[in-house]
Amino acid sequence: MDKRLAMDLQEMQQELIAIRHDIHANPELSMQEARTSKLVARKLKQYEFIVTEEVGTLESVPPGDRSIALRADMDTLKLVEESNVSYTSTVPEVMHAYGHDGHTAMLLDAAKYLSNHRNSFFGTVYFIFQPGEEKLEGAVAMMNDQLFERFPFDVIDGLHNSSGKPIGTFNIRFSPMMAASDRFLVTFQGTDGHGGAYSHLAMDATVLQAQFILALQTIVSRNISPNNAAVISVGAIQGGSFNSLNVMPSEIRIGGITRSFTKLVRDIIERRIKELVHGFAQSFGCTVQIEYNRLGCSTC
């Protein structure tokens, strides 16, 4: 790293840490980032940016005709923080455990540095602070609000911190870095029954559930080439009651996510999940409903 750059960043370090601690102590859920947005806007104005909602604009001196956007996310999810740090969350059951406090602080740090060195680049830099990343609402809302039309940049870059990586290193690749994301929710419905004397008259929902979850894992191992990466994970199962352990449930629900990098792999995963869903319903003599939603595409 250039010595002058290193010295400048060192001088800015305490402010960066303070911003990150402040955001961490005051986490906000998706599409509720009012306080964080105000903090970001206040800092950008302090750094002499043109601020429009969640976007700060900085032009070089002299101006140039190229443009780039840098993006960070601001929200978090419901989690209970169990730490003893001085900046622990002050919001019950909400915690910055995914690093978005760091993302926001880092982008503000970059904004301050470039504002202080407008002659070090040639063009326009847009700093985008995205709300609602965790619930997948923020990006869509910003695009529907004509983000790309109002801020016509040539390229957009982002990053995500990663624990376990050596400090001061970056991981990049010359193909999609972030996988496409899909979600599925499957509901099997059949006949309930007593788990003792009349179990033979009921749909064996729990066995169906177990076998179906195991079968999902064979999609990646047997239908996807070892040269490609993919993930299928079940994150939620529901069925029966701990208050009625002798009753076999008539309905079970299974929900999860998939990750893939190419359209081919994405298509295979969706097709095979739906084939397994209907195959299991037929073999267990029940009906089934499936909701399968394609969310974000893979990005470089």
Q: What are the tens digits of pLDDT across the range 103-156?
A: 999 999 999 999 999 998 999 999 999 999 988 889 889 999 999 999 999 999
Q: What are the tens digits of pLDDT across the range 181-216?
A: 999 999 999 888 877 776 787 788 889 999 999 999
Q: What are the tens digits of pLDDT across the range 160-179?
A: 998 888 888 888 878 888 89
What is the phi/psi pair of residue 133, to 5°? Answer: -70, -40
Whole-number percent of the chain with pLDDT over 90: 71
User: What pLDDT does 207 receive?
Assistant: 92
Query: Does residue 68 or residue 8 have the better pLDDT?
Result: 68
User: What pLDDT does 111 receive?
Assistant: 96
- Domains of the chain, with CATH numbers? 3-158 (3.40.630.10), 180-294 (3.30.70.360)
Q: What are the tens digits of pLDDT across the range 40-84?
A: 999 999 999 999 878 988 888 888 899 999 999 999 999 999 999
Q: If you average pLDDT over every residue of the chain, what do you get?
A: 92
User: What pLDDT does 142 receive?
Assistant: 92
Strand order in the sheet with 55-59: 50-52, 55-59, 124-130, 67-73, 155-158
Q: How far apart are CA 224 and CA 227, in angstroms?
A: 8
Q: What is the DSSP string of 80-95?
A: ------TT---STT-B
60: tokens are 């070089």
What is the value of pTM for the model shown?
0.80
User: What pLDDT does 9 receive?
Assistant: 84
Run of H or E residues at 174: none
Q: What are the tens digits of pLDDT across the range 146-159?
A: 999 999 999 999 98
What is the number of H-type helices and E-type strands within the chain?
A: 7, 11
| Residues annotated as catalytic (active site), given as ranges | 75, 133
- Strand 67-73, strand 155-158: pairing: parallel
